[in-house]
Structure 1
Amino acid sequence: MKSISHWIFDFLVDQGLSESWAGTINMIILLLVVLIVLFVLDYFLRKMIVGIFNRLSLLSKSKFDDLMVKNKVPRNIAHIIPVVLAYKAIPEIFQDFHNAEIFFSKTIEVFGIVLFLWVVRSLLNTFKDFLKSLASLRDKPIDSYIQVFMIFAWSIGLFYAFSIISGIELWKFLTALGTASAVIILIFKDTILGFVASIQVSINDMVRIGDWITFEKYGADGDVIEINLATVKVQNFDKTITTIPTYALISDSFKNWRGMEDSGGRRIKRSLIIKQDSIKFLTKDDIEALKKIELIRTYLTNRSKDIDTYNTEKEIDKSLLINGKNLTNVGVFRKYIDRYINSHSGINKDMTIMVRQLPPSSQGLPIEIYAFSSDKRWANYEYIMADIFDHLLAAVPYFKLEGFELPSSTNFKA
């Protein structure tokens, strides 16, 4: 082999050229020839291997081989043979240049490590995309685990590369590195915290991709689109993207709306505030007038009979309405709201429906509606809630009640 690689050298020496110049020219010509051969070989290998994978992906029903092509696994594998041949050719090219041989040998070894890591990365990305295509794993933080493995692989690769460059054995290099572990932990603190957090988030099923979360501290209110080692990406409803440190999911408080989405309805919890000086007992004439309202006609008839019977049996003096049992306009209004909510087509009747009074405040008496809309989609939910309160706000005057609102400039002018 040496005679073959040295024939240019021998020819130049025979032509009267000095051995140093002949050796240099021989090395340059061999280097150019090897580079051309390797380039051509790499080109054809890449075309051949990628072509084979493309044909296999067309014949196969599995998505895995398609994803391998997409993530350039065949292309990266095709580079391996030229790199191995280049490493084998180095001693022949630089046989008369020992220092150059050592330099280029180490360079090829380091490049081989990088190429190996490229192959590993492309394979891991393929596995990641494939696992994400499975319905049972689509909402899992697969990115975090892939990133942890890649950080580990790159760390080992870098240590091995430094060992090759420095000439120190790997185990001695790692032993020396152990003394600097405190510094390393400090440098990779966020990565370590993110890794721990991603495991806890996954095990405890705190957040999945696709969940709607609200994180006020970071201004996030939208759907989780990505969970990786360092950050969680949330696409807000205004289409902006908010990034949240993964560790914040276990160190801070946030709201996950998945429970609502998995349930049978979305909660409506809103109040009407009634002016307290508009609340009064109902006279018989008032009751008769309210019986025209169909939803509470039967209730008023039956309830009036029960009250009259009680007051008669107890011989209550009804010259004052406060004596005995009486109906109030706010109580009848609460009953009307309850009947209206229960008859509304947008309310889930299998979940809690409640109309209640909250403690009176300086603004008035809050009447709270607590129910669940059967449609959980945001736009439809808002429509159902608005439809209910449009009606109730318009119904308030029929019960001789008034809603509270702060006075405007027109009120002061009047």
Structure 2
Amino acid sequence: MEIIKEYVENLIQLCGVSGSAVPVVRHVALVLVTLLLAWLSGVLCKRIIMPLIHKLTARTTADWDDILFNARVLLTACRIVPALVIWQFLPMVFYQFHFVREVLERLTAVYITIMTVRLITVLITSFAQLETSHSSSVRQYIKTFCGVLKIVVIFIAVIVTVAIIFGKSPLSLLAGLGATSAVLMLVFKDTIEGLVAGIRLTSNEMVKKGDWITVPSTTADGIVEEISLTTVKVRNYDNTIVTVSPITLVNGSFQNWKGMQQSSGRRVKRVVYFDFRSVKAVDDDLRNRLVQAGYLSAEDMEGEDANIGLFRKYFEKHLAARKEVNENLTIMVREMEATQCGLPLEFYFFLRDRVWLNYEHQLATIIERVYVTAALFGLKIYEQYPEQ
């Protein structure tokens, strides 16, 4: 830098500048030289170094270097270089103006700090986008860790920036924060709790992207599209987006249908009410009709004295024979406690198809079968009449 300074002074003398104009011309010339070198360094990075790095990463077979050294990362790095050049030349340019030099040095240092933090956060984001061979839960954990790391980096950058502006040591500022920690905890209470809840949510694998969840305290009932440290986005089946805070899921309760989706069947638990007046004793005529229709055999009807008991046996046998019902899981038709709305029968079984649309269609077909065959057993579905 001293060589540049001497060169500028010699050039001024060669131009015939003398007297009181020499300091002014010298400072203007040094400022222009500094700005020119800063501009040239930026052009060098953008026009030569960036394309060179792109060519080198394109030649490799790996994908990680293309993701980490993407255009956004390199462009952010290129914006730091001119500021570094200016910061190095400031003592030489403003060596006679200490106040101006100190102000400009602090402003330049703040800019360098901000751009460095931005570069680090962009690198962390690129790292989180790397495709790994791990499971989705591990990838979600890496994404959560990257989010926490960003917050730590930004917090440190804020401390360093404030220290640069006020000319203090960052350690002294951190020591001073201890006195105001209670106030900060009060102000950022919800943010801190949400952050901790987000970490618990992802680290414990309570919910993952792609899970179907139902949150009773909110209108969320759909597929999880995004999980971050502060929000969980759920796309409902009506295509509306519901944003739920992680603390709501951790402290409250929610239903995750992942276990059902991964199991071998989706449960059906449907209750049908029968009219008490249609429950009658079994006679020979009913037994003969059921045997001739192939619904039940004489052995199946042994020990049953009521038509509703025969109906229970028949429908359990019918459910076990249907191909859409998983016969390896529980199949049960049970009589529940009588109510003023009739005698309830609960149909409990599992359908093989767990897709919502197919599940509803198959369930409707089976329940419609209940309504149709009940009359063959002399049973009537309960219906409330106006006089009742």
TM-score normalised by L of structure 2: 0.90
Moved more, 222-231 or 91-100: 91-100
Note closer, same or farther for the CA distance 1:169–1:281 as it changes in structure 2 (3 Å cut): same
2: CA distance, partners of 1:31 / 1:385: 81
Note closer, same or farther for the CA distance 1:200–1:352 as it changes in structure 2 (3 Å cut): same
Distance apart, 1:208 and its partner CA:
1.6
Unaligned 5+ runs, structure 2: none
1: CA distance, partners of 2:30 / 2:81: 19
Match of 1:370 in 2: 348
Note closer, same or farther for the CA distance 1:295–1:50 as it changes in structure 2 (3 Å cut): farther
Given that residues 46 and 79 in structure 1 are in contact (C-alpha distance below 8 angstroms), is that contact kept between their aligned partners in structure 2? no
Question: Percent of pairs identical after alignment?
Answer: 30
Given that residues 128 and 142 in structure 1 are in contact (C-alpha distance below 8 angstroms), is that contact kept between their aligned partners in structure 2? yes
Match of 1:146 in 2: 146
Note closer, same or farther for the CA distance 1:259–1:303 as it changes in structure 2 (3 Å cut): closer
* 2:330 aligns with one of 352, 358, 364: 352
Distance apart, 1:338 and its partner CA:
0.7
Superposed CA deviations along residues 214-246 of structure 1, whole A, max 9, x for unmatched, are 101121111222222212211212221111111
Match of 1:395 in 2: 373
Distance apart, 1:148 and its partner CA:
1.8
* 1:3 aligns with one of 3, 6, 11: 6
Note closer, same or farther for the CA distance 1:82–1:303 as it changes in structure 2 (3 Å cut): closer
2: CA distance, partners of 1:399 / 1:262: 38
1:285 aligns with 2:285: yes
Superposed CA deviations along residues 301-356 of structure 1, whole A, max 9, x for unmatched, are 2245x56xxxxxxxxxxxxxxxxxx5322111111211111111111122111111
2: CA distance, partners of 1:282 / 1:250: 55
Aligned AA (1:357): E
Distance apart, 1:28 and its partner CA:
4.0
Match of 2:305 in 1: 327
Given that residues 267 and 350 in structure 2 are in contact (C-alpha distance below 8 angstroms), is that contact kept between their aligned partners in structure 1? yes
Given that residues 278 and 402 in structure 1 are in contact (C-alpha distance below 8 angstroms), is that contact kept between their aligned partners in structure 2? yes
Distance apart, 1:68 and its partner CA:
2.1
1: CA distance, partners of 2:384 / 2:47: 76
Secondary structure of 1:52 counterpart: helix
1: CA distance, partners of 2:71 / 2:138: 19
Larger Rg: 1
Unaligned 5+ runs, structure 1: 308-325
Distance apart, 1:211 and its partner CA:
1.4
RMSD: 2.5
Match of 1:253 in 2: 253
2: CA distance, partners of 1:133 / 1:242: 31
Match of 1:161 in 2: 161
Match of 2:125 in 1: 125
Match of 2:64 in 1: 64
Aligned AA (1:174): L
Secondary structure of 2:292 counterpart: coil
TM-score normalised by L of structure 1: 0.85
Number of aligned residues: 384
Aligned AA (1:392): V
1: CA distance, partners of 2:258 / 2:314: 33
Given that residues 212 and 258 in structure 1 are in contact (C-alpha distance below 8 angstroms), is that contact kept between their aligned partners in structure 2? yes
Aligned AA (2:17): D
Given that residues 137 and 208 in structure 2 are in contact (C-alpha distance below 8 angstroms), is that contact kept between their aligned partners in structure 1? no
Secondary structure of 2:295 counterpart: helix
1:302 aligns with 2:299: yes
Distance apart, 1:137 and its partner CA:
4.0
Aligned AA (2:146): I
Given that residues 194 and 230 in structure 1 are in contact (C-alpha distance below 8 angstroms), is that contact kept between their aligned partners in structure 2? yes
Distance apart, 1:33 and its partner CA:
4.2
Distance apart, 1:252 and its partner CA:
0.6
Aligned AA (1:365): L
Distance apart, 1:105 and its partner CA:
0.9
Given that residues 113 and 157 in structure 2 are in contact (C-alpha distance below 8 angstroms), is that contact kept between their aligned partners in structure 1? yes
Given that residues 147 and 229 in structure 1 are in contact (C-alpha distance below 8 angstroms), is that contact kept between their aligned partners in structure 2? yes
1: CA distance, partners of 2:333 / 2:230: 45
Match of 1:382 in 2: 360
Distance apart, 1:295 and its partner CA:
3.4
